Amino acid sequence: MAKERSLSPQARSILGTQVSRRAVLAGAGGIGAAGLLAACGGGGSSSSGGDATTVRWGNWPLYLDFDEDSKTYPTLVKFSEKTGIDAKYFEDYNDNDEFFGKVQAQLKLGEDIGYDVVTPTDWMAARWIRLGYSQKYDAANIPNKVNILDSLASPSYDLNRESTLTWQGIMGGFGWNVEKNPKGIRTLDDLFAPQNKGKIVVLTEMRDTIGVILLGQGVDINKVTEDQFMNAVDFMAKKISDGWIRGVKGNEYAEDLTSGDATAVIGWSGDMFILASENEGKFDFAIPESGGTISGDNLMIPSTASAAGKANAEKMINYYYEPAVAAEVAAYVNYVCPVKGAQAEMEKIAPELANSEYIFPTEKTASRLNVFRSLTPDEETKWAEAFQQAQGN
Amino acid sequence: MSFPKIRVPYLLLLPGFAFLFTFFILPIINLAQTSTQTPIAGGDTGEYEQTLAFGNYIQAFVDNKEQFGRSFVYATLATIFALAIAYPLAYAIAFKSGKFKNILLVLVVAPFFTSFLLRTIAWKQILGEEGFVVPGLRSLHIIGQQTTLTSTSVAVVAGMTYNFLPFMTLPLYASLERIDPRTIEAAGDLYANGITAFRRVTVPLSLPGVVAGTLLTFIPAAGDYVNAAILGSPNTKMIGNVIESRYFKIVDYPTAAALSFTLMAAILILVTLYIRKAGTEELV
């Protein structure tokens, strides 16, 4: 059994000196309301359609290197300087389902949705492809495609990566307040320990929350059956009604940890990494003993993008698959970097991070991360319904 | 050139009617159509067809009666608390504020200068573990050491009361301010003491404000989901949260539409009963 790893002291110290990603978020505790965060996006969505010299990218908040002083995205600025393409960046991807709900009607009618690149998570990318809402890449425009990590090169929904490339990988596991949980959290029993009663927050992302619970129950989430899934949902519902779990939330679980309203969470590696560095090691993260989840957000071109918008989008995707650029992004966002060669580039800009298990997982670590199997449309609806009802919806 | 007299009022109605037709009638028709759809066999997520499945309504209500009940209880509580806070406030502004009247009125409206969301998130911090309220109440032994305020129904109702307070205060102020002070003086002349004059003169004359204020508070509060989403827990979800989750998370448009209709109907019935009892003339 691999020894459980937490953030190394070096990683903590180097992160302590980095630009604070979380500081940007301070006060902006997102809720599910659509479009709230749209206002925070860069640019301004005045352009109604794509034109020849722009590319419009919808991405999740705090998911691209950002310079506090100049209020710009350095890698994106460099891309624009290099190519002359005006990159409009919108941080309005708050939730997969919600984003889909906002644009689905337009996609169906073939009307411009206002983006040339979107960033859905694996399972949602699968849905877009199934429904014909995405466009295949022109492979000649993305020579850097070969740089994708072998482990990510052929997902079930896009075997040859013809219309998606991973933006960042996300690990799901346990996060905790070190003062309240001095021994750390490695198992479900550790999570549901008396000191955390009523102060546990889990993720709204079904595949991460139920995935971690299922793995804790010894179920292989790559082959999970409906009975096993419903059993895990019942487990969660019981923990909610018995007052163990305080809330089911998106990114804002991080604020609950800092405010002391939560002491233990099922959370994401990158968030916890930042929290730990900004609070002098008050928080920590680990992949559960029984295994954690891994998923990816994908760069994808919607079916409604114009030919020019598509070509520009491909140039941009190619640019972000250059190892040096990928390293620069990873140094800021701290999620799993999908690009080969980025680790070597990271040695040059932030050597301490080059050894981070959470940005560049070793094979041993990677073997402990599990992918939730893809669901049929029927299952998708039924399982989501059960998961929502368990949270009182 | 002049329009025949009779036409003018209709022409004046036109812009309002066009607006309502486009942004209210059409969406309502669309919503009604959606509410009786069922999934296409073998179709993908979010694909529905019209089958006139009126059973959707029964199913949606039965599945979520708990959240319906909660919405109306919370909205009623918030309305009562808002009335209890707003009435003395509006009374003081109308009768006792002297030259500070305008400043006080601006202060009542001031919260609107900030986003509804930011104000609600601020409540989360005020009521949170590191705010001043919880440690204060704990040291005074009013609440136990383990008791928290966020993620409780107390926080949700408090948030709604706060957020809708101006909607209660302003109509109350408007009707109190209109009361002719001479009527109160006359009550005094007829040997009514202060309390009797208030009860028999001021309160009845301010009833239009009470009716308008309670409606303006209760109706949005019953459909609110922001307070429950930010300040509540899975055990305090309201019907608005269910509709949001059905629409965006489960991509179950028919159930979301059926729930919306049921909520509208329920509010309409309650409001009708209320206005019947209070008397429609009080509204004008």
The pLDDT tens digits for A179-222 are: 999 999 999 999 999 999 999 999 999 999 999 999 999 999 98
Q: Taking 80 as the threshold, does the pLDDT of residue B5 lie above it?
A: no
Binning pLDDT at 50, 70 and 90, where does residue A376 land? Answer: confident
Does residue B52 lie within any of the structural domains?
no
User: B67 vs A392: CB contact, 8 Å cut-off?
Assistant: yes
Does residue B178 lie within any of the structural domains?
yes
Amino acid at A58: G
Does residue B9 lie within any of the structural domains?
no
Task: State residue B2's pLDDT score.
Answer: 56
User: B236 vs A260: CB contact, 8 Å cut-off?
Assistant: no
Alpha-carbon span A15 to B90, nearest angstrom: 53
Query: Which residue of A lies nearest to B122 if distances are taken between CA atoms?
Result: A27
Give me the residues of B, 43-72, that contact A with CB < 8 A: 43-46, 63, 67
Task: State residue B275's pLDDT score.
Answer: 86
* Spatial contact of A253 and A245, defined as CB atoms under 8 Å apart: no
Alpha-carbon separation of residue B252 from A98, A385, B63, B64 (angstroms): 12, 9, 14, 14
φ and ψ of A343, to 5 deg: -65, -45
Q: Taking 70 as the threshold, does the pLDDT of residue B86 lie above it?
A: yes
User: B249 vs A390: CB contact, 8 Å cut-off?
Assistant: no
**What is the tally of structural domains in chain B?**
1
Tokens of A95: 């939730």
Contacts of B151 in chain A (CB under 8 A): 246-247, 261
Does residue B211 lie within any of the structural domains?
yes
Chain A interface includes B163 (CB < 8 A):
no
Chain A interface includes B38 (CB < 8 A):
no
- Interval A221-234: pLDDT, tens: 989 999 999 999 99
CATH number at residue B77: 1.10.3720.10
Q: Taking 90 as the threshold, does the pLDDT of residue A266 lie above it?
A: yes
Domain that holds residue B130: 60-283
User: A390 vs B67: CB contact, 8 Å cut-off?
Assistant: no
Q: What is the ipTM of this complex?
A: 0.80
Q: What's the mean pLDDT in B87-104?
A: 93
Domain A32-169+296-356 classified CATH 3.30.365.10? no
Query: What is the homologous superfamily of the domain A171-294+370-390 according to CATH?
Result: Periplasmic binding protein-like II (3.40.190.10)
Please give, one letter per residue, the 3-state secondary structure of chain A.
Answer: CCCCCCCCHHHHHHHHCCCCHHHHHCCCCCCCCCCCHHHHCCCCCCCCCCCCCEEEEECCCCCCCCECCCCECHHHHHHHHHHCCEEEEECCCCCHHHHHHHHHHHHHHCCCCCCCEECCEHHHHHHHHHCCCECCCCHHHCHHHHHECHHHCCCCCCCCCCCEEEEEEEEEEEEEECCCCCCCCCCHHHHCCHHHCCCEEEECCHHHHHHHHHHHCCCCCCCCCHHHHHHHHHHHHHHHHCCCEEEEECCCHHHHHHHCCCCEEEEEHHHHHHHHHHCCCCEEEECCCCCEEEEEEEEECECCCCHHHHHHHHHHHHHHCCHHHHHHHHHHHCCECCECCHHHHHHHHCHHHHCCCCCCCCHHHHCCEECCCCCCHHHHHHHHHHHHHHCCC
Chain A interface includes B151 (CB < 8 A):
yes
- C-alpha closest to that of A252 among B229, B264, B146, B280: B229
| From A43-47, A66-70, A178-182, A194-198, the region with the lowest mean pLDDT | A43-47
Amino acid at B280: T
User: B235 vs A392: CB contact, 8 Å cut-off?
Assistant: yes
- Interval A162-174: pLDDT, tens: 999 999 999 999 9
Say which of B233, B251, B252 has its CB closest to residue A247.
B233
Chain A interface includes B183 (CB < 8 A):
no
Q: Which residues of A fall below an 8 Å CB-CB distance to B?
A: 27-29, 31-34, 36, 95, 97-98, 100-101, 104, 127, 130-131, 198, 204, 240-241, 245-248, 259-261, 377, 380-381, 384-385, 388-393
- Interval B29-83: pLDDT, tens: 999 999 999 998 888 887 899 999 999 999 999 999 999 999 999 999 999 999 9
Contacts of B125 in chain A (CB under 8 A): 259
Does residue B238 lie within any of the structural domains?
yes
- C-alpha closest to that of B59 among B228, B242, B236: B242
- Interval A303-333: pLDDT, tens: 999 999 999 999 999 999 999 999 999 998 8
Task: State residue B3's pLDDT score.
Answer: 55
Alpha-carbon separation of residue A61 from A58, A95, A114, A118, A327 (angstroms): 9, 10, 17, 13, 19
Average pLDDT, chain B: 90
Alpha-carbon span A292 to A313, nearest angstrom: 32
What are the extents of the domains in chain A? 32-169+296-356, 171-294+370-390
- Interval B244-279: pLDDT, tens: 999 888 889 999 999 999 999 999 999 999 888 876
Q: Taking 90 as the threshold, does the pLDDT of residue A297 lie above it?
A: yes
Locus of tokens 């001043």: B132
Alpha-carbon span A206 to A283, nearest angstrom: 23
Binning pLDDT at 50, 70 and 90, where does residue A50 land? Answer: low
Q: Taking 70 as the threshold, does the pLDDT of residue A119 lie above it?
A: yes
Answer yes or no: same fold for A32-169+296-356 and A171-294+370-390: yes
Contacts A–B by Cβ distance under 8 A: 101
Alpha-carbon separation of residue B131 from B53, B115, B181 (angstroms): 50, 21, 44
Task: State residue B28's pLDDT score.
Answer: 94
Contacts of A381 in chain B (CB under 8 A): 39, 45, 250-252
Chain A interface includes B245 (CB < 8 A):
yes
